[in-house]
Amino acid sequence: GQQLNQSPQSMFIQEGEDVSMNCTSSSIFNTWLWYKQDPGEGPVLLIALYKAGELTSNGRLTAQFGITRKDSFLNISASIPSDVGIYFCAGRAGNKLVFGAGTILRVKS
């Protein structure tokens, strides 16, 4: 089946630093999504990307849809303590989403 490889698995950074994480796939996706999950909650959609090469921002978050349609990255600028959580990439296949394993982000203040 389709699989997404997400990296890094975890990050422990200093408040104020920028963060970068990425996701690759052996399959082509027509939509890439990035979600954040806080402890004890369900994932929440951060950014959706619909076109190869698309670069989209949401506040301090920026995500790009790779031109091969097999990868995507998420950047967080000037991290703050509330950025902690698990970030998931997801690719849309028909009416289903395939999720990466997640990147655990911890921020030292």
For residue 95, the one-letter residue type is: N
Q: Which is nearer to another protein, 49 or 79 (CB)?
A: 49
Q: Which is nearer to another protein, 52 or 101 (CB)?
A: 101
Q: Which is nearer to another protein, 9 or 57 (CB)?
A: 9
Kindly state the smallest distance separating residue 34's Cβ from another protein, in Å. Answer: 11
End-to-end CA distance of the chain: 40
Kindly state the smallest distance separating residue 22's Cβ from another protein, in Å. Answer: 16
Cβ distance 90 to 103 under 8 Å? no
Which chain residues interact with another protein by CB under 8 A?
31, 33, 40-45, 48, 50, 88, 92, 94-102
Pick from 55, 22, 53, 48: which is nearest to 33 by CA? 48
**Four-residue CA torsion sign, 18, 59, 64, 1:** positive
Pick from 37, 46, 31, 23: which is nearest to 84 by CA? 37
Q: Which is nearer to another protein, 24 or 77 (CB)?
A: 24
Kindly state the smallest distance separating residue 30's Cβ from another protein, in Å. Answer: 9
